[in-house]
Amino acid sequence: MVESFGFIKVASASPVLKVANTDYNICEIEKLMREADARGARIIAFPELCITGYTCNDLFLQKQLLERAKGALFELSSKTKDLDILAVVSLPLLIDQRLYDCAAVIQRGQILGIVPKIFLPNYKEFYEKRWFTSGYEISREASEIRLWSRTIPFGNLLFKNEEYDITLGIEICEDLWATIPPSSYLALSGANIIVNPSASNELVAKAEYRRKLIEQQSARCISGYIYAGAGIYESSTDLVFSGHCLIAENGIILEESKRFNRGNTIIYSEIDVDRLSAERQFNKTFADNYDMETDRRRFKVVEFEFTRKLIADADNFDRKVHPYPFVPSDPDTVDRRCEEIFNIQTAGLAKRIEHTGAKKAVIGISGGLDSTLALLVTVKTFDLLGISRQNIEAITMPGFGTTDMTYNNAVELMKLLNVNMREIDIKPACLQHMKDIGHDPEVHDITYENLQARERTQILMDIANKVEGLVVGTGDLSELALGWATYNGDHMSMYSVNCGVPKTLVRFLVKWIADNVVEENTRKVLYKIIDTPISPELLPPDEQGRIRQKTEDKVGPYELHDFFLFYVVRYGMAPRKVLFLANMAFKDKYEPKTIRMWLKKFYHRFFSQQFKRSALPDGPKVGSISLSPRGDWRMPSDADSAIWIKDLEGLM
């Protein structure tokens, strides 16, 4: 079944124009409307006063220009009556001897409504009040106007499509720069997509400021934001415009044009209306803001429809789907994010050690990524508190599956970090325990595996009691999601520093620490650990002494599970949509049937293992997702996953 999954393809365009030549300008606008409609875009935004050009200046006082602008709007609407796309175009409009800077919404030959600009810049290079009147008063008084014998909705308008839960609001250029932009009121009244026809000239560093404004406002409004800026074909008498076009969603720039482009500019992306709806549902402050706002504007709702069904077409999908949603794509951002996470982990552990008065920290070191990160956090914490690293009881506990590689890495790391290193071989105790419970040591089942994990935890807990210390947990967020931990084994600790860090991010964190925090010899060991396959090492190694038990062979690739985790927990997405996005993100790496198989595994484990998450030790939240039963995630341990699994059945 073909679905939209809540996505709507939108476009932002900056056309070639000739100042004051309305006939030429609507021809260029029509070209871009037809191009966007053919590409499957359903909404397109054009710049401020695009029908006349923004830089007409005193020509806005000429009746000839104003009459032609009005006629050009009707002409453009008529020429595009065969198009399903909804377009926002802009023109000067004279009403009762007052001139307004307006945005008109047209679709299938109809002018659905007209919205006037509220805030008129009249400082430095801007003189808009010389020609225009603010639409604030008339928007409060009027709800429609008559143009050429037609009655057209006018003023405070929302454009709503019930079928796809799309509500469009419009603000114009300077409106965005106001202390409280009109889009804030539009969003509180239901708008989930804001369109801004703009003519913002270029100055040094202004583009970056403009970009931040759009990011911030789309985040505050929890909305999509389509910004269309006037281009280089505006008059360059005193100013230059760049044709800056952006499409944003909830604080993220989805697509951005190159500036100063010669020729028509158009960009595309998909706005995820379902995702915005989920975000607003979660964010109770958004709803409270609406309830408390005493000066809410009243908006007239204009209904519109699409004659063609909205679909999310994998072959015509412009939105970039990042395969690692927990890891920023920009290297500089990764560095800043890793430093911040490391500091959060350190601050959390430091507070717990100070509060409990623990004299020491006790931590099991396996030579794997998770325990390595936990040890590095503990070392940084003790340095921060001015406590000797010798008060860190770092214990390696080789068992039946321990390989020389992980053992040597663990020992070398502990020595280089100058912690108090101890080694306790768990094999004798485990063999005795198997004898006590009547378990055959040759039967390598779940009992065989879990008793080793519980033996290690018992050792750590008992030593912590002995030295008046605190057991530092090593398990990560991905393991908690999948339940890949032994209940009351490695599942348990006295403070869990990695509980908010997903597996895909653990690797980046350890690499960042290697590159930025530790000395050269330690860096070399950390790089060896980064390259080690992920394994609990509870089953004996192969004949060559290499790791036989590789976690990802059994539960699936962590990069997939982290992707699933992000969209399932963060946005409550339905399985079909998660699968669609995963197929887009990993299309060059995994077959669709493979992704579907591991997604079913994810849902099965995520539901069946909730009982472990219901009994988690304390630990810091570091990102947008946490599975703490006391904080972000409160789920019954006996919930049934049937309807989620069923949603995936028959899709391939």
DSSP secondary structure string for all residues of 481-536? HHT-S-TTTTT--SEETTTT--HHHHHHHHHHHHHHTS-HHHHHHHHHHHTSPP--
Q: Do 73 and 49 contact (CB within 8 A), yes or no? A: no
> Could you give the count of Cα atoms lying within 13 Å of 18 in the half-sphere of its Cβ?
9
The separation between CA 24 and the C-alpha centre of its own chain, rounded to angstroms, equals 41
Binding-site residues for deamido-NAD(+), in ranges, read 450, 479, 484-487, 612
Give binding residues for ATP as ranges.
Answer: 364-371, 474
- Kind of pairing between the strands at 392-396 and 495-496: unpaired
Please enumerate in sequence order all residues whose Cβ is within 8 A of that of 410, keeping only pairs 6 or more positions apart, or say none: 365, 366, 367, 371, 396
Angle between helices 520-530 and 369-385 (to 10 degrees): 150
Tell me, what's the pLDDT at 554? 77
For residue 421, list its beta bridge partners. Answer: 394
Q: What's the pLDDT score for residue 287?
A: 78
Structure tokens at 141: 């008084």
Cβ neighbours of residue 164 under 8 Å, at least 6 residues apart? 4, 6, 8, 273, 306, 310
- In the predicted model, residues of the chain with pLDDT beneath 70 are 1-2, 142, 290-297, 534-551, 553, 650-652
Q: Which CATH class is domain 331-648?
A: alpha beta
User: Domain residue spans in the chain?
Assistant: 7-316, 331-648
Binding residues: 123, 200, 206, 364-371, 450, 474, 479, 484-487, 612
CA proximity to 482, closest of 473, 491, 472, 474: 491
Identify the pLDDT of residue 551.
64
**DSSP secondary structure of 543-597:** TTS-----HHHHH--HHHHHHHHHHHHHH---HHHHHHHHHHHTTTTS-HHHHHH
Neighbours of 636 (CB within 10 A): 10
Binding annotation for L-glutamine? 123, 200, 206
Tell me which residue of 473, 460, 481, 448 sits closest to 564, measured CA to CA: 481
pLDDT of residue 537: 59
pLDDT value at residue 332: 87
Residue type at 39? Answer: R
- 3-state SS assignment for residue 253: strand
DSSP state of 154: B
User: Which pair of structure tokens corresponds to residue 354?
Assistant: 């100070």
CATH number of 7-316: 3.60.110.10
Which pLDDT score is estimated for 542?
65
DSSP category for residue 130: G
Residues facing 99 on adjacent strands:
94
Q: How many residues does the chain have?
A: 652
How many whole angstroms separate alpha carbon 148 and alpha carbon 151?
A: 9
pLDDT at residue 1 in the model: 47
171 and 202 in contact (C-beta within 8 Å)?
A: no
Number of C-beta neighbours around residue 384 at 10 A: 14
- DSSP per position, 615-649: TPPP----SS----TTTT----TT---HHHHHHHT
Q: 326-337 burial, b for 16+ CB within 10 Å, e for fewer?
A: bbbeeeeebeeb
Distance of CA 518 to the CA centre of its chain: 31
Q: Which of 580, 596, 605 is nearest to 650 (CA)?
A: 596
User: Which of the residues are catalytic?
Assistant: 48, 117, 173
For CA atoms 501, 585, 42, 19, give the dihedral sign.
Answer: positive
Using alpha carbons only, what angle is made at residue 584 by residues 580 and 585, rounded to the nearest 5 degrees? 115
Burial 351-383 (b: 16+ CB within 10 A, else e): ebbeeeebebbbbbbbbbbbbbbbbbbbbbbbe
In 3-state terms, the chain is what percent helix, strand and coil (to 5)?
Answer: 45, 15, 40
The strand pair at 43-45 and 7-14 is best described as parallel
Residues facing residue 445 across a β-bridge: none
Residue 361's nearest CA partner among 467, 456, 462, 454 is 467
- Rounded Cα–Cα distance for residues 150 and 144 (Å): 10
Q: What angle (nearest 5°) sits at the alpha carbon of residue 259, between those of residues 258 and 261?
A: 85
Rounded Cα–Cα distance for residues 510 and 528 (Å): 11
Q: What is the pLDDT of residue 478?
A: 97
Q: Cα 208 to the chain's mean position, in Å?
A: 20
